[in-house]
Every structure is written in C-alpha cells, then in structure tokens.
Structure 1
Amino acid sequence: MSKRTFASRRSGRHAAVAAGLLLAVGLGVSTQVPAQAAAHAPAKAPVTAPRSVSGTTGQAVTRVADFYGAYIDAKGDYTDPDATLAAALRKHYLTPEFAERLAVRERTNGVDGVLHAPNVPTQWTATDNGAVGNGHEVIVTLTFGSGGTAQRTKLYVLLERYDHIVDITTTTNR
C-alpha cells in the first residue's frame, strides 16, 4: 500500500470518527437542553403589551391631561391626600380669575369644582376638542366607580392662548 492510500484511509476514519463523535455529542446536548430548560425554567407569565402615555409640550390636551392626572393623584391618595399639592396645582394651571369663580362655585355646590363631584374618579381621559376663539377646548371624561355601576361625567375644559385653564363646564364652549 502506498502512503497516500493509507493516509487517505486514516484521514477518512478520523473524519468518520469525528463526525460520529460530534453527532453523538450534538444529539446528547440537544436532548438534554430541552429537558434542562423545562426543569429549570420558571413558568412564563402571559405576554401583554406595555402601556405608554405620551405628551408634547405646548399641546392643550397634554397640559390638561397633566393637570388632571396630578390633581386626581393628589386628591385621591386615600391614606394621605395632599391638599397642599392640589392647591399648588390649581394655582399653577388655573387663571386667578377662574380660581376665584371656582371657589365660589365650590362653596355654593359643596363639590370639588375641578372634578364637579364630591369624590375622586377611578379613571379619566383627556381628548382634544379643537380651537375655540383664542383658546382651546379639551374634553375630560371622568369615570366614578367600576363595572356596571360606573358613572361618567364629561367636562369641557377651556384653555386660554397662554395655556391656563379659564373654565371647566359640563357643556361645550362651541
């Protein structure tokens, strides 16, 4: 036999042995990985899409949504409501003239003038309703309670051109 033939056979055997070894190792690993993964992997929770809230500086709907979100949080923390924060938010977002009118309305009706209710809603949404004169109107829908007993109140929030709230009513300014 020539060296070439012997070398060809030897390299052929080595290749076959190496391929068999790789196949055996590969099959062993591939059958072990699912078993190990099933044994050690925690149960997966259902995948849900994350919620996001966004806004843009200078948009009326964002400004009203920011106000109502912070105001409801300040008033709705039942273990420790923050009256100081609620008052500061009113001072920041409402015009002084409207704040005075609102205080009179609250004394007369016995309800929170921003929420038009004696209690705090469980949900709220703010929807752009477009330009009105030199201002902008945003519809705020407040939901009180839940399920079949939930009640909704629709408020029309009017902002002046400098982004301060000048009125909150239950009828549109259009």
Structure 2
Amino acid sequence: MTTHSSRRNRPGRRAAVATALALAVGLGVSTQVSAQASVPAPARTATAAPQPVTGAQGQPLTRVADFYGAYIDAKGDYADPDATLAKALRAHYLTPDFATRLAAWENTNGADGVLRAQNVPTRWTVTDNGAVGMGHEVVVTLTFGSGTTAHTTKLFVLLERYNRVVDIQTTSSR
C-alpha cells in the first residue's frame, strides 16, 4: 500500500481535524468579542464643536496670529519657557528698528513689550483693522486670568507693507 492510498482511506480524520480547527478559531474569536463587549467604552463628554483655524500666506491677520500664537506658547510654558524661541520669533517678525524701541520700552516699564504685560495671557483673539497708510493694522485682544478675575488688553499691531511688525500700541494708529 502506498502512502497515497492510506490517506484516501482516512477521510474522517481530515474532517475531524478541520472541524477541531474551525471550532478552536471560532471559540477564540467569540471569546475576544465577549471580552471586548464587557469593557465599557469611555464616556463622551459634551464639548463644543471643534473650531477651525485658517490662514493665508502673506495676509497681515494670519501673520500677526501666527506670531502671537507662537510667542505666547514659547513664553507661556511655565514648566519650561523657551526664551530662545521667543527671541527668535521677535527677530523674525519685528523690524530691527522696532525691536530696539521695544527693548527700551521693556527696560522702562519692566514688562514684556509684545504682550504689554508681566505675565502671559490665557486667551487671545486677532482681528483685522484694515490698511493704515502703507501698512496694515491688526487688533490683538489678550485675556489674562479667568472667571471673575479675567481682564482684557487690546493691542494695535502695525505691520509694514512687507508684513513685519513696526509698532505695538494700546491705541489705534487710525
């Protein structure tokens, strides 16, 4: 008898192995499903709809929003503020003349000239205020604190036509 003929004589054994394999796989899947079903899903909390943030290259509003967002992040990380990044952002976004005037303002007032404060805001908004001469003015509203102790400061940021900050004031240039 050859090995081929002995295999043909045992069709029941192949069926039993196939059935056992299918049963084992089926039990494994059903065990996983029932185990997964017994774990409660994390509760969803009611949150506001996500708010998109958009921008456009070369737009004064986007430029100021990018600067203030990055600057506040660099200054506001209380565990590890990044003074090097804040300095680099100032060098990139401010004209050299304004950076010199701002440093003098900071020495006189003992505060951060970009934020016009000694601390870092908890929130901020940026609003377009239109063209001013050859430049553009953007209003930055900074909110410090929260709840009943929150207060806001409005800054008027003037950009030159090449989108570098030439002035930050608490009153409009208009």
> Which interval holds the TM-score relative to the shorter structure?
0.7 to 0.9
Residue identity (%): 69
Deviation at 1:43, TM superposition (A): 6.0
The 5 Å alignment of 1:11-50 reads 42=41, 45=44, 46=46, 48-50=48-50
The 2-side partners of 1:49 and 1:103 are apart by 41
Match of 2:11 in 1: none
1:121 aligns with 2:121: yes
Q: How many residues align?
A: 137
Superimposed CA distance per residue, residues 32-85 of structure 1 (whole angstroms, 9 cap, x where no aligned partner): xxxxxx977736524642222111111101000000000000000000000000
The 1-side partners of 2:136 and 2:148 are apart by 33
Match of 2:99 in 1: 99
Match of 1:84 in 2: 84
RMSD of aligned residue pairs (Cα, Å) = 1.6
The 2-side partners of 1:48 and 1:105 are apart by 40
Match of 2:170 in 1: 170
Distance 1:154 1:47, change over 3 A: closer
Output the amino acid matched with 2:94: L
The 1-side partners of 2:92 and 2:147 are apart by 34
Match of 1:140 in 2: 140
SS at match of 2:116: coil
The 1-side partners of 2:92 and 2:145 are apart by 29
Distance 1:170 1:48, change over 3 A: closer
Q: TM-score, normalised on structure 1?
A: 0.75
SS at match of 1:91: helix
Q: Which runs of 5+ in 2 are unaligned?
A: 1-36
Q: Which runs of 5+ in 1 are unaligned?
A: 1-37
1:108 aligns with 2:105: no
Q: TM-score, normalised on structure 2?
A: 0.75
